Structures are given as C-alpha cells and as structure tokens.
Amino acid sequence: MDVNEIVAKVRKEVLEQMGKGHANEKPQVHFFSGAAPELAKFIEHSVLNPDMTREKVRAECLLAKQHKFINICVTPYFVREAAEILKACNVGICAPVGFPHGAASTAAKICEIKECIADGATELDVSLNLVAIKSGEIDEAGRELKLMMDAAGHRARVKAIYEQGLLNDAEKKATLEMIKNSGVDYVKISNALTGKAACTEDVKFVRSIVGGSVKIKIDGGIRTAAKAREILDSGADRIGCSASVKIVTGE
C-alpha cells in the first residue's frame, strides 16, 4: 500500500468516527465563538439612544442583570425605572448629567444630580462645561465640577466627561490637570460630539497626565471582545458600549 492509499484510508476512518460516513465529505470546523463573559465587570451597558423606549429600557436592564455588567447607563428620565428593576442585584445605575455640552446652568445640573441620586443612580457621568473651557475659563469649569461633586457627596461615583474631540492640545492638558486635581473618581474619555472611535492612544495620553489617581472610562465604537481587551490593556478601567451583550456572548 503506497502513501496515498494510507492517507486515504486514515482519512476515511477518521471521517467515519466523526459520523460523516463518506470519504469525500469534509469535517465541520468549529471556530472559537469569541465569547468573553469575564469582561462584563468592566462594561457599562449604554442605552442612551434618543429613540429609547421604556419597554426597551426594561429589557436592557434584564440583560444587564443576566450578564452582570458593572452598570447600565440610562437617561435621567429612566433612572427610577432601572433602579427598581435592578434593586436586588449588583448592577449599578449610571446617568449622564448636563450631557453632552455641559452648558446648562450650574443650578440646573445640581438639581439633575440630586434628582438622579434620589431616583436610584449610583454613578454619574457629568459633562464639563465645554463652552467655559473653550472660552479659556478653565477655573470656572473646575469650580462647577467641584460643586457638582459636592452635590453628589458620597452617594454616587462621579465621572468627569472629557470631550476631547473639541479641544486643542493646550485645552486638553489644562482640562485633564483640572480633572486630576478635582478628586473626581473617573475621567470619561468621550467622543460623543465627534464620532471618533475609542483608541489606545487616547487612553495612554490621558493616563500620562492624570496618573494613577483617577480611573479612566472610555467609549465609542467598541463592538468586539478583542477591541475591548485592547482598550483595557492600554490602561482603561471601564468601557462604555451598546454592543455589550455581543461582546460577552460572542453572538
């Protein structure tokens, strides 16, 4: 029996053992699905689209509970609903404040913070006053951030939204220094107003300025487990995304 005959015989036996039965039939290959349930503890499940409905929020809360995401991000309008659904589990409730421009009055943002916390929010993503920063009034933006942190007290974690795409290099550094010195829990690298996807370079840049005293959240275009791991490996502590379920299940 020559080599070709041996190979054909072995191939046939293997296929028969696999239940295929025919030598000409190729075995089915199963690739790794890409599921990454271990990433759930880093994911803030975002349901902030303007066309969001109460029914959809309820469904997404149940998914957040099922997959054990670190929190779910909902608009202030839905905080009470989300908090009621998730009250018996460890999924937090995150609400944006003054989003996205941060240009509402300080009093309005403080009222929003107090109401969100009263309704059950455990974390707040507060928009820094972009128009103040662009006007060179970084001290005013910092003063307002401090007032918002005081309003939150120790009842909710506060993340300062750093909307980097609208800032020049000098404004970026000044803003990050202000955030670093504020005592805020997190800086959230955001691209909501520019559409830029999250990238490792942004995380590394922010980390180079805030050091280890402030944790980092970043969002924007994170849709796969591989991308999520890449962002986390670059120094981020949290990621925000709407493709959360796909990331942890691989489906």
Domain hosting 128: range is: 35-249
Sorted by sequence, the CB contacts under 8 Å of residue 7 that are 6+ apart come out as none
Instruction: Flag whether pLDDT at 236 surpasses 70.
Output: yes
Q: Catalytic pick from 119, 125, 185, 219? A: 125
**pLDDT reported for residue 62:** 98
Alpha-carbon Rg for the chain, nearest whole angstrom, is 24
Instruction: Flag whether pLDDT at 18 surpasses 60.
Output: no
* Domain harbouring 71, CATH code: 3.20.20.70
217 is catalytic: yes
**pLDDT reported for residue 78:** 98
pTM of the model: 0.84
d(CA 5, CA 65): 57
Q: Are residues 82 and 44 in the same domain?
A: yes
Q: Residue 115: which pLDDT band, with cuts at 50, 70 and 90?
A: very high
Q: Are residues 12 and 49 in the same domain?
A: no
188 is catalytic: yes
- Give the tens place of pLDDT for each residue, 158-199: 999 999 999 999 999 999 999 999 999 999 999 888 888 999
**pLDDT reported for residue 193:** 80
Q: Are residues 62 and 155 in the same domain?
A: yes
Q: Catalytic pick from 109, 172, 217, 227? A: 217
Q: Catalytic pick from 188, 202, 219, 227? A: 188
215 is catalytic: no
